[in-house]
């Protein structure tokens, strides 16, 4: 009975009907995705943060580790660049210097802004050489201060620039997420695919495995993992290990979904049609089954991404994942839990909205993709 | 007006990302109490959308045209369906006065609640019966529609019944509140012929017994011929022809109706060739100008492409919307 | 002897229901002993309600259902005989070229990720029937034209098409390898009435032009009567009656056929008489009734029917029925069957 019902055969804006009719799956999904304003906006946000993460070494004015610290400005408030002050305006943004004194009675620190003193911002200043992505030698960063430091998001207790740390943390968290998602994706595709396509006892065994993995309680598991990690490991080793752990624990759900997909599609008419056309199982999988759910897999991956980031974050937050010298969003969030931070140093919280924005962006992009990916979805 | 239902100029568009899609375009019809009106059309004709709008069941992106009027007349009371606001008021058209049965009976039963519990809830909600009274009435109703061991079925779940039984149970549930109007949306399409015949018989009996009006939606003219008093033929959101069922089938006034009839395989004449209606149903986005049927009409003229035909009276109560009928009428 | 294209002998297809750790799982006998000859060039109709096993029989004839007992032999126009239940890899490849399937649902039978050209050309490419891409394209265009598909549409994806056009794509794919045996499984059931006639006419025309042998499976007796030159009626995995459609309608020799005919809603509003209606529904094939499997719903069942399964008997030339009391059956539209003893 199903003629292309309401909204199924709808030409999308910017496409002539012939273009629409000859459009492949990817293009259709993209066209539908573009029509979804929330998802499109989320995609821009996401792209922005991904770029921030990738180009963090260039975008951030200082090294996020102790090497780039400003010993004279620990726990310093954010410095907002200005164009005007009481002494008039300037075309170049500048910040005011600060002076710190300790009250003799209370030993309490007082910070006075020296409105007389201007430190101008500079763009593309020459700095100590560093390597972008670990390979490209660079000796300039996007911006800096003419003399001394500029801290857009303030500094932490050691004087490390929170702005630089946040940018790097975004990169690290996304990288951990990507690694975790990739590992779990490969596992899920193989295990779920095999279980779904061959069925029978193989399916039974693999399903039991999926359930076992899903049944492992996460926190004690991670505590064990954390205990296993020797103190002597470098931050890179830790980073890699955490990604691995996330990947090996996170594939259960995705594998089950892929299994269901394969199981459902395996008996679809067009698969039988391919068999009738003389196709061998390998051809059926490659030409018919995989394309039929690549879009779903991509969507699933995007949707599971924020959970990976969340998992990493919560691990680091409870102190089981990455530790302070390394930057990740979880580490940044963990720093906000100290009482004096809560009371006095509110700029430690700046990474929090960024973290929330990243997770939300992922969720919205994933939702948008899911809505766009189903070729015969009801569009109501 | 002594009728039960009047629908005037019902226009319904769905707002989608791609713009407004017209599903129903200026549909008007009346329904007398106890009358069976067949609504025939192919997919995309807007027959289900029309029926659902009587219960205001269309989705949130449905936009009613400003001229649309739908009124129920009951014991001197006049209910403006489009003016109903809020769930409590809507209950009048959703169960009190109008009930609906569907092609897929699983759709009207909650999977995790027993059939009996749902029927009792309906009766309590719409008729304010006590639990005990509601149960008595439900079992009675299940028996009436021919479900054996009704008392036992009462505690079963929809998935435990066979297709035909499920359809019967759905009819029992829809009729238990004694609605004045039953909307039957392709209730026999998913059934085997032998079961379809049983269900049609049952519905005919129930009409006689309960005296309610039925809007019977189907794509099968044979089912309409067997059940309906009057028939309205829909194509792309328009009623192109309506009239007494025998008259419409024997002396169809619209080329589309004639096309539908000649496309049907007929048992009494196995030699007659099957005559398809040429072409395909246009997409809802590409609504033809003028007469909506002109893209497939074998007798279309130049004016059909530009001028929307008016609905003309052919015989008493038999109307069709075709330019060429004016000439036909003279010939008659 | 007429030239038989498909010969089915004592065919049984069983599906085990679930897996049991201990004991034997119940078995669904989807096809329970079917013997059938389809002459070359026939448009052979197979009618039955859901659960009658007609789809399984069709799939078995194409070698895609697990045959438990019996034999299917398909002879192609070149004279090669295929033992369909026991195909090895090489013969299967040749057989696929010769025998094809047209599906019911034009929406699920086409890969949504492939263009129409790729869908139609896939069998050619898989069976390596064309040496070059140009040759394949030419063949695709040729068959598309035969199926009245606009050649302009070949670049499009299935989502661009309505049900009728999709069914034409499906037909073109089935015919592209030049098969001579086609199983059409409910191929017009999902289509709108106005389109249905068009596809039926197309199938008929293709059958005549290309000399195909059709097994046309349908639940709709009136469609079958109009298109087929021979009809078999199935009930619970067995063939209960087979005859040319005209004979079948004029003098059905099985009460089930008679009931099926009288259940078709008449287009004549004045003819609302209730011919005899079957009570109840088709029993589960897991647990079929004893004797004649139809006895639970038969208006003229007697004691003998409950114990003894009737065999197909010759009623007239080309007309077989499996009923103990065929001779007592009145033509449809007349009053109650003469004998009502033991009914209900």
Q: What is the pLDDT along chain B (332 residues), one digit of tens a residue?
A: 468 899 999 999 988 766 788 899 999 999 998 899 999 988 888 898 998 898 888 877 888 989 899 999 888 888 888 888 888 888 888 888 899 988 887 777 888 888 899 999 889 888 888 999 999 999 998 988 888 888 888 888 888 888 888 888 888 898 888 899 999 998 888 788 888 888 888 888 888 888 889 999 998 888 899 889 999 999 999 999 999 999 999 989 899 999 999 888 887 777 788 888 888 888 777 789 899 999 999 888 889 999 999 888 888 889 999 988 755 543 43
**Are the Cβ atoms of A379 and B59 closer than 8 angstroms?**
no
Per-residue pLDDT of B61-95, as tens digits, reads: 888 989 899 999 888 888 888 888 888 888 888 88
Per-residue pLDDT of B295-304, as tens digits, reads: 999 888 889 9
Q: Which two tokens stand for residue C3?
A: 């030239």
Percent of chain A with pLDDT over 70: 87
Per-residue pLDDT of A297-351, as tens digits, reads: 777 788 777 777 777 777 777 777 676 667 777 777 777 777 777 777 778 888 8
For chain C, what is the largest distance between any 2 Cα atoms, rounded to a whole number of angstroms? Answer: 70
Q: Which residue of B has its CA nearest to C228?
A: B270
Structural contact between residues A121 and A145, judged by C-beta atoms closer than 8 angstroms: yes
Rounded distance, CA B12 to CA B24, Å?
Answer: 5
A24 inside 8 A of chain C by CB: yes
Average of per-residue pLDDT across C78-82? 89
Phi, psi of C165, rounded to the nearest 5 degrees: -70, -40
Strands B213-218 and B36-40: parallel
C155 inside 8 A of chain B by CB: no
Chains that touch B (3 or more CB pairs under 8 A): A, C
Residues of chain B contacting residue A7, judged by C-beta atoms under 8 Å apart:
14, 16, 18, 21
What per-residue confidence (pLDDT) applies to B168? 87
What per-residue confidence (pLDDT) applies to A284? 82
What per-residue confidence (pLDDT) applies to A2? 34
Rounded distance, CA C117 to CA C156, Å?
Answer: 8
Residues of chain C contacting residue B278, judged by C-beta atoms under 8 Å apart:
198
Per-residue pLDDT of A85-128, as tens digits, reads: 777 787 778 877 777 777 666 666 677 777 777 777 777 777 77
Average of per-residue pLDDT across C55-80? 90
Strands B238-244 and B318-321: antiparallel
Confidence of residue C175 (pLDDT cuts 50, 70, 90): very high
Minimum distance, in Å, between the CA of residue A211 and any CA atom of chain C: 21
A10 has a pLDDT exceeding 80:
no
Query: Helix, strand, or coil here: C341?
Result: coil
Q: Which residue of C has its CA nearest to B267?
A: C222
Find out if CATH 3.40.50.300 is the number for domain B5-97+179-331: yes
Structural contact between residues C325 and C300, judged by C-beta atoms closer than 8 angstroms: yes
- Best mutation target among A31, A269, A290, A293 (most C Cβ atoms within 10 Å) is A269
A75 has a pLDDT exceeding 60:
yes
Q: Which of C226, C272, C274 sits opposite B265 (nearest CB)?
A: C226
Separation of CA B198 from chain center: 19
Q: Which of B17, B23, B284 sits opposite A35 (nearest CB)?
A: B17
- DSSP, residue by residue, C116-152: HHHHHHHHHHHTT--SSHHHHHHHHHHHHHHTT--GG
Rounded distance, CA A368 to CA A33, Å?
Answer: 6
Report domain extents, chain B: 5-97+179-331, 101-178
Per-residue pLDDT of C254-288, as tens digits, reads: 999 988 888 888 888 877 766 667 887 888 888 88
Most confident of A194-198, A242-246, A284-288, C196-200: C196-200
C127 inside 8 A of chain A by CB: yes
Structural contact between residues C239 and C322, judged by C-beta atoms closer than 8 angstroms: yes
Minimum distance, in Å, between the CA of residue A380 and any CA atom of chain B: 7
Minimum distance, in Å, between the CA of residue A17 and any CA atom of chain C: 9
Dihedral of the alpha carbons of A205, A211, A213, A216, in degrees to the nearest 10? -140
**Are the Cβ atoms of C269 and B270 closer than 8 angstroms?**
no
Q: Which of C128-134's residues contact partners 24+ apart within 8 Å by CB, and which partners? A: C129/C97, C129/C177
Residue B265's contacts (CB-CB under 8 Å, 6 or more residues apart) are B274, C197, C220, C222, C223, C225, C226, C227
C103 has a pLDDT exceeding 80:
yes
C192 inside 8 A of chain B by CB: yes
Minimum distance, in Å, between the CA of residue C157 and any CA atom of chain A: 6
**Residue bearing the bigger pLDDT, A197 or C126:** C126
**Are the Cβ atoms of C100 and A276 closer than 8 angstroms?**
yes
Interface of B with C (CB under 8 A): 42-43, 162-165, 192-198, 200-201, 204, 219-223, 225-226, 245-246, 249, 259-261, 263-267, 270, 273-278, 280-281, 283, 296
A51 inside 8 A of chain B by CB: no
C240 has a pLDDT exceeding 80:
yes
Q: Which residue of A has its CA nearest to C176?
A: A277
Rounded distance, CA C22 to CA A156, Å?
Answer: 68
**Are the Cβ atoms of B43 and A11 closer than 8 angstroms?**
no
Confidence of residue C141 (pLDDT cuts 50, 70, 90): very high
Rounded distance, CA C243 to CA C228, Å?
Answer: 11
Q: Which of C193, C261, C269 sits opposite B246 (nearest CB)?
A: C269
Write out residues 39-98 of C within 8 Å (CB-CB) of B: 49-50
A13 has a pLDDT exceeding 50:
no
C343 has a pLDDT exceeding 70:
no
Per-residue pLDDT of C1-57, as tens digits, reads: 468 999 999 999 998 876 655 666 778 888 988 999 999 999 999 998 888 889 999
**Are the Cβ atoms of B18 and A380 closer than 8 angstroms?**
no
A2-6, A209-213, B230-234: least confidently modelled range: A2-6
Rounded distance, CA A170 to CA A176, Å?
Answer: 10
Domains in chain C, CATH or no CATH each? 4-235 (3.40.50.300), 251-328 (no CATH)
Structural contact between residues B202 and B145, judged by C-beta atoms closer than 8 angstroms: yes
What per-residue confidence (pLDDT) applies to A19? 67
Minimum distance, in Å, between the CA of residue C100 and any CA atom of chain A: 7
Q: Is the dihedral of CA C225, C227, C231, C236 positive or negative?
A: negative
Q: Which residue of B has its CA nearest to C196?
A: B276
Rounded distance, CA C33 to CA C54, Å?
Answer: 12
Chains that touch A (3 or more CB pairs under 8 A): B, C
Domains in chain A, CATH or no CATH each? 69-155 (no CATH), 164-373 (1.10.3720.10)
What per-residue confidence (pLDDT) applies to B281? 81
Minimum distance, in Å, between the CA of residue A373 and any CA atom of chain B: 16
Write out residues 16-45 of A within 8 Å (CB-CB) of B: 35
What per-residue confidence (pLDDT) applies to C274? 66
Confidence of residue C330 (pLDDT cuts 50, 70, 90): low
């Amino acid at each position: 009975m199903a003629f292309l019902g309401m909204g199924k055969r709808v030409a999308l804006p910017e496409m002539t009907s012939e273009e629409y009719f000859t459009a492949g799956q990817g293009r259709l999904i993209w066209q539908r995705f573009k029509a979804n304003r929330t998802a499109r906006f989320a995609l821009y946000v996401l792209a922005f943060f991904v770029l921030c993460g990738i180009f963090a070494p260039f975008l951030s004015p200082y090294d996020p580790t102790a090497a780039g610290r400003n010993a004279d400005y620990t726990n310093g408030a954010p410095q907002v660049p200005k164009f005007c002050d009481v002494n008039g305006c300037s075309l170049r943004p500048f910040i005011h210097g600060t002076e710190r004194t300790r009250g003799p009675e209370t030993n309490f620190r007082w910070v006075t802004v020296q409105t007389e003193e201007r430190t101008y911002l500079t763009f593309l200043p020459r700095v100590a050489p560093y390597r972008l992505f670990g390979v490209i030698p660079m000796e300039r960063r996007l911006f800096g201060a003419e003399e001394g430091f500029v801290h857009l998001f303030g500094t932490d207790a050691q004087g490390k620039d929170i702005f630089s740390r946040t940018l790097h943390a975004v990169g690290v968290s996304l990288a951990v997420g990507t690694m975790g998602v990739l590992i779990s994706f490969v596992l899920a595709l193989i295990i779920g695919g095999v279980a779904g396509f061959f069925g029978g006892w193989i399916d039974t065994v693999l399903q039991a495995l999926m359930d076992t993995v899903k049944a492992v309680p996460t926190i004690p598991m991670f505590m064990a993992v954390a205990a296993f990690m020797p103190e002597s490991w470098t931050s890179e080793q830790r980073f890699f290990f955490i990604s691995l752990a996330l990947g090996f624990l996170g594939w259960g759900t995705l594998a089950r979904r892929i299994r269901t997909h394969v199981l459902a599609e395996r008996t679809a008419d067009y698969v039988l049609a391919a068999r009738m056309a003389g196709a061998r199982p390998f051809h059926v999988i490659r030409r018919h089954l995989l394309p039929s759910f690549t879009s779903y897999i991509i969507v699933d991956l995007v949707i599971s991404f924020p959970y990976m980031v969340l998992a990493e974050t919560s691990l680091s937050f409870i102190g089981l994942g990455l530790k302070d010298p390394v930057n990740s969003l979880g580490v940044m969030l963990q720093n906000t839990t100290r009482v004096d931070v809560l009371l006095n140093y509110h700029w430690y919280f700046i990474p929090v909205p960024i973290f929330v924005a990243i997770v939300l962006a992922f969720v919205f992009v994933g939702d948008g993709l899911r809505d766009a990916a189903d070729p015969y979805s009801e569009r109501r | 007006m002594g009728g039960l239902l009047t629908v005037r100029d019902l226009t319904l568009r769905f707002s989608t990302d791609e713009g407004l899609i017209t599903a129903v375009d200026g549909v008007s019809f009346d329904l007398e109490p106890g009358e069976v009106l067949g609504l025939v059309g192919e997919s995309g004709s807007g027959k289900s959308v029309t029926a659902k709008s009587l219960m205001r069941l269309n989705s949130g992106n449905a936009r009613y045209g400003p001229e649309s009027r739908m009124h129920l007349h009951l014991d001197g009371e006049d209910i403006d369906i489009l003016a109903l606001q809020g769930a409590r008021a809507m209950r009048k058209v959703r169960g009190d006065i109008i009930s609906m049965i569907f092609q897929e009976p699983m759709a009207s039963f909650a999977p995790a609640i027993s059939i009996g519990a749902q029927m009792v809830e309906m009766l309590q909600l719409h008729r304010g019966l006590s639990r005990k009274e509601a149960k008595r009435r439900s079992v009675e109703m299940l028996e009436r529609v021919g479900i054996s061991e009704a008392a036992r079925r009462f505690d079963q779940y929809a998935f435990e019944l066979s297709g035909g039984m499920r359809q019967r149970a759905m009819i029992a549930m829809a009729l238990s509140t004694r609605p004045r109007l039953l909307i039957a949306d392709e209730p026999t399409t998913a059934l085997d012929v032998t079961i379809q015949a049983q269900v049609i018989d049952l519905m005919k009996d129930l009409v006689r017994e309960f005296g309610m009006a039925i809007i019977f939606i189907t794509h099968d003219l044979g089912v309409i011929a067997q059940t309906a008093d009057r028939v309205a033929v829909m194509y792309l959101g328009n009623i192109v022809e309506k009239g007494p069922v025998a008259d419409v089938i024997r002396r169809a006034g619209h080329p589309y109706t004639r096309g539908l009839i000649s496309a049907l395989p007929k048992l009494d004449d196995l030699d007659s060739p099957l005559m398809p209606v040429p072409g395909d149903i246009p997409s809802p986005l590409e609504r033809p100008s003028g007469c909506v049927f002109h893209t497939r009409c074998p007798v279309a003229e130049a004016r059909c492409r530009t001028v929307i035909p008016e609905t003309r009276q052919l015989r008493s109560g038999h109307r069709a919307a075709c330019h060429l009928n004016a000439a036909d009428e003279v010939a008659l | 002897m007429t030239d038989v294209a498909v010969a089915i002998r004592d065919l049984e297809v069983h599906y085990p229901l679930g897996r049991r750790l201990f004991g034997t799982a119940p078995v669904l006998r989807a096809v329970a002993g079917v013997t059938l000859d389809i002459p070359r060039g026939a448009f052979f109709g197979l009618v039955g309600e859901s659960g009658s096993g007609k789809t399984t029989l069709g799939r078995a004839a194409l070698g895609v259902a697990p045959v438990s007992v019996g034999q299917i032999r398909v002879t192609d126009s070149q004279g090669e005989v295929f033992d369909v239940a026991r195909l090895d890899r090489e013969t299967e490849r040749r057989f696929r070229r010769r025998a094809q399937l047209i599906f019911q649902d034009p929406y699920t039978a086409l890969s949504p990720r492939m263009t129409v050209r790729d869908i139609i050309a896939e069998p050619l490419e898989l069976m390596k029937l064309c040496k070059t891409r140009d040759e394949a394209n030419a063949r695709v265009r040729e068959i598309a034209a035969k199926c009245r598909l606009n050649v302009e549409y070949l670049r499009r994806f299935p989502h661009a098409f309505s049900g009728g056009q999709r069914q034409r794509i499906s037909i073109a794919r089935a015919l592209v390898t030049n098969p001579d045996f086609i199983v059409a499984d409910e191929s017009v059931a999902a289509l709108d009435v106005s389109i249905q006639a068009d596809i039926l006419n197309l199938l008929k025309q293709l059958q005549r032009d290309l000399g195909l042998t059709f097994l046309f499976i349908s639940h709709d007796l009136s469609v079958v009567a109009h298109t087929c030159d021979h009809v078999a009626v199935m009930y619970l995995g067995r063939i209960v009656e087979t005859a040319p459609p005209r004979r079948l309608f004029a003098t059905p020799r099985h009460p089930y056929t008679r009931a099926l005919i009288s259940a078709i809603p008449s287009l004549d509003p004045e003819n609302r008489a209730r011919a005899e209606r079957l009570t109840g529904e088709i029993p589960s094939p897991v647990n079929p009734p004893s004797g004649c499997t139809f006895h639970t719903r038969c208006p003229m069942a007697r004691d003998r029917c409950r114990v003894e399964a009737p065999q197909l008997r010759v009623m007239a030339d080309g007309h077989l029925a499996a009923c103990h009391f065929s001779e007592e059956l009145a033509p449809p539209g007349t009053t109650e069957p003469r004998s009502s003893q033991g009914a209900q």
